[in-house]
Each structure stands twice: as C-alpha cells, then as structure tokens.
C-alpha cells in the first residue's frame, strides 16, 4: 500500500480519489473470492481517509479542503462507480469500508460526505447507492443513522421548498431504502420537544408511502435472517414502534406546541393563526390515516412471525419501548391541563389502547397483562385502555406462547365462521425491484 500511496501523492485530489476506488475494487474483488466476509486491513482504510475524506496522515498537519466544485465532482465519481459496479457483494463491501464509522477524527468527514452522496443519489435516482445506504442503515449504530436522516430531511424538507417530491419518487425505485429511512426518521423525531415534531412535508411523504402499501414497513423484517435477540444500539427491524409513538403522542405534542406559542407573549395574527390551525388539522388527519395503516400492518404480523418460527419469541414492538412511551403520555397529560385538553388525552389513550391490543393479539408485543397493568396504572382513566389491560374472555393459549402471555383475542365466537388469514407475502406486488433475502 505504501507504493500506491506514493503514486497517489503525485496526483490531484480527484484523480487520486478515483484511483483509490480502482485499487479498492481490485483488492476487495480478490478478497471476496477467498472469503464471503473479507476483513478490511488498516492499509486500505488509511488510503480512504487520506485521499477521499481529506484527513492528513501527518499529525498536526492542517486538513485539506476540496472546493465546492471538486466536492460535487467527487460525488459524481462515487455515484458513477457504484452505478457501474455490477457485483452487488463488491459494492456492499466497498460502501461499508467507505462509510462505516471507525471512531476516529475522520468520522465527521465520512458522515458529511455520506449525507451528500445519498442526497445526490436520491436526486438522480441512483438505485445501487440507495440500496447500499439501506444496508448501511441496517448495520450501523442508530446514532449515525439519525445523522444521515437529518441530512436528508434538511436537504429535501427545509432547504428547497417543493423538493420533497423528488424524495417521494424513490418509493418504487428502492423500497428497502424507504423502509430504513422511515425507521431512522422515527428515531430522530420522537416528539419529545416542539423541535422534534416531524415537519408536515415529511409526515405527508411517509404517510403517502405507507398508505400506498402498508407492507413497506416490513421489508427489512421479511428479507433479513433474524435471531430472536437483536443487537442493542441499532435501528429496529421495523419502524412500527416509532410510528406508534408518532400516532399516540401527536395529539398531545401538537397541543403542547400550540400552548407554548400562545404563552410566549406574542399572540399570532389572525392570518397566521388560521394558517397554523389549518396545518395542524391536516397533520391530525394524516396521523389518523397513519394509525390505521399501523394497525393493518400489526394484524398481518402473526402469519409472518409464525412463518419465520418467531411467534412468541421475537417482539417487534418491544415492551421496553412501550414503558417510556407510557411515561411520556403520562407526563404530557400532567403538563397539559386536563380540563383544556381532555379530547386530545382521550384520543392519545384510545390510540395507545388500540395499538397495544392489536400488537399483543398478533404476537408483536410480548408481555403479560399484569406487566401492562402495572405500567399503565398511572395513566388517566380510559375505558378502552381499561378493557385492554383487563383482558378478554380467556381463549385457548397459543402453543408457541409461554403461560401467562396475552392470548389471541380475535378468535371468532362459536357459531361464526373464521375469516381467512391474511396472505403472507415477502414482496410488494407491482414493484420492479426484486426482494432477495440477505445471505
């Protein structure tokens, strides 16, 4: 690698970057012939950091800077490389070696370049780059995934009005990326503050994707070999938990935001007030639509979990995530005056109860009724929630579930025919991109 480095030092920044990609292609193509999971040596990593991310090798040396035009040309070189590389395994390994965080000073440059590369890939619809980014989001700690999501939201929701339509069009080009993008966005916008309420354009985009085909949010789960114990600190297999959090907390979060705007000492004008009221009304309709889609997806899950032999073993809506959600609802309910926000509190609790009921019935949420009763004990009274945590008339337990777990509550009563089960599909009909399990 030292000989390659000396030859690269004599080149300009762009030709050196192109040459590094060429050498990496040869190196990893050779490695993949001997091992399906090649190890990335320090030599190639050092070359990447020095000639692509412009991190100087010598200590104390000032960092190199590309001009905006050179950076745009570098992004074009990288986009073209991933587009022209025909071997998916080589593409994935090189993308991973380029952008997997190393815990060093190059990570900031790495993440900045990744955000710009994926943003360009969205703009020009470079599907191979989007597919690589989807796998990267699946295998990278969530703290970095959230940074990429923020960069894309800034580019397509905040900087240029109307550019969200460009992002919307990738639904058919790379559904896998859309699924991972939704998961990372729901991790970013948790509605814990007014700044972390998703922008209305982003909300409308995600609801339009999911409403068109709710199974979009199951793509990663359906096409990934899964162990019952998932690693900590990474994105979840589906955005279900994040979407449930959005639907349940939205009525309270928007009321809190409205209350804060009225108490800041500057009452809005009538025009601004009418505009904000209309936007909030549109958002509430979108959350209602989203809530319906989430319930539909939860109802599909029993068949998929059974097919993968994970029913009763894998909770796609982890109970550990339900606990902080309930705590957030309780805190928001106390913060808002129940006399002035009774409808919003009732709506939030109704949605929580519906989500818990369907998630437990489908095997997506694994907990006992006693656990749920304990967690929800401090919430304001809600008739539907009380019905859910009290439990239905006892039905025969599912063989795969341990004793004490919530039984299936949608078994029809005697004398009524059973409804046909939802068909189990591991693909989205009508989408050209072939879904293949990751090997």
What is the SS3 assignment for 170-237?
Answer: HHCCCHHHHHHHHHHHHHHCCCCCHHHCCCHHHHHHHHHHHHHCHHHHHHHHHCCCCCCCCCCCECCC
Q: Report the range of poorest mean pLDDT among 108-122, 131-145, 260-274, 371-385.
A: 260-274
pLDDT at residue 143, as a whole number: 95
> Range with the lowest mean pLDDT among 242-251, 254-263, 373-382?
254-263
Among left, alpha and beta (phi > 0; psi -120 to 50; other), residue 407 is: beta
Please tell me whether residue 413 adopts helix, strand or coil conformation.
coil
Q: Tens of pLDDT along 20-41?
A: 888 888 888 888 887 766 666 6
Residues 345 and 336: beta-carbon distance below 8 Å = yes
For residue 170 the two structure tokens come to: 């990738």
> CA-CA distance, 401 to 409, in Å (whole number)?
14
Tell me how many helices (H) and strands (E) the chain has.
Answer: 18, 0
How many other CB atoms are found less than 10 A from the CB of residue 170?
A: 20
pLDDT of residue 218: 96
Rounded Cα distance, 366 and 255, in Å: 31
Long-range contacts of 428-431 (CB under 8 A, 24+ apart): 428/175, 428/213, 428/215, 428/216, 428/219, 431/172, 431/175
The predicted pLDDT at position 338 comes to 73
Contact between residue 120 and residue 126 where contact means Cβ atoms under 8 Å apart: yes
Q: Is the pTM above the cut of 0.95?
A: no
C-alpha angle 79-82-85 in degrees, rounded to nearest 5: 145
Q: String of b and e for 34-59 (b: at least 16 CB within 10 Å)?
A: eeeebebeeebbebbbbbbbbbeeee
Rounded CA-CA distance 2/432 in Å is: 45
Highest mean pLDDT among 5-14, 152-161, 196-205, 304-313: 196-205
How confident is the model at residue 321, as a pLDDT? 95
């Amino acid at each position: 690698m030292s000989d390659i480095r000396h030859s690269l030092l004599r080149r300009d920044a762009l030709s050196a970057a192109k040459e590094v990609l060429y050498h990496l292609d040869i190196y990893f193509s050779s490695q993949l012939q001997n091992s399906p999971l090649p190890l990335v040596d320090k030599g190639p990593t050092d070359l990447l950091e020095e000639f692509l991310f412009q991190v100087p090798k010598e200590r104390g040396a000032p960092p190199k800077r590309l001009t905006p035009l050179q950076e745009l040309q570098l992004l074009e070189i990288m986009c073209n490389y991933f587009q022209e590389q025909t071997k998916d395994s080589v593409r994935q390994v090189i993308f991973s070696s380029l952008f997997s965080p190393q815990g060093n000073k190059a990570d900031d440059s790495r993440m900045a370049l990744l955000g710009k590369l994926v943003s360009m890939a969205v703009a020009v619809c470079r599907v191979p780059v989007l597919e690589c980014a989807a796998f990267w989001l699946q295998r990278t700690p969530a703290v970095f995934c959230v940074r990429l999501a923020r960069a894309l939201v800034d580019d397509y929701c905040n900087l240029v009005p109307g550019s969200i339509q460009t992002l919307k069009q990738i639904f058919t080009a790379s559904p896998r990326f859309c699924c991972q993008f939704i998961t990372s966005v729901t991790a970013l916008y948790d509605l814990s503050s007014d700044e972390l309420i998703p922008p209305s354009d982003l909300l409308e985009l995600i609801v339009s994707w999911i409403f068109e085909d709710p199974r979009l949010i199951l793509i990663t789960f359906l096409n990934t070999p899964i162990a019952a114990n998932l690693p900590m600190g990474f994105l979840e297999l589906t955005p279900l938990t994040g979407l449930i959090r959005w639907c349940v907390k939205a009525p309270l979060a928007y009321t809190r935001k409205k209350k804060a705007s009225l108490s800041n000492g500057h009452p809005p004008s009538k025009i601004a007030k009418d505009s904000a009221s209309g936007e909030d009304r549109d958002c509430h309709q979108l959350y209602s639509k989203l809530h319906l889609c989430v319930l539909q997806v939860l109802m599909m899950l029993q068949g998929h979990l059974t097919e993968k032999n994970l029913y009763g073993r894998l909770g796609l809506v982890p109970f550990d995530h339900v606990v902080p959600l309930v705590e957030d609802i309780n805190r928001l309910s106390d913060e808002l005056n129940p006399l002035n926000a009774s409808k919003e509190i009732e709506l939030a609790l109704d949605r929580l109860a519906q989500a818990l009921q369907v998630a437990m019935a489908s095997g997506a949420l694994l907990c006992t009724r006693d656990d749920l009763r304990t967690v929800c004990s401090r919430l304001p009274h809600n008739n539907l929630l009380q019905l859910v945590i009290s439990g239905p008339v006892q039905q025969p337990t599912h063989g795969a579930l341990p004793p004490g777990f919530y039984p299936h509550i949608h078994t029809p009563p005697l004398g009524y025919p059973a409804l046909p089960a939802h068909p189990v599909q591991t693909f989205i009909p009508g989408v050209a991109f072939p879904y293949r399990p990751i090997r």
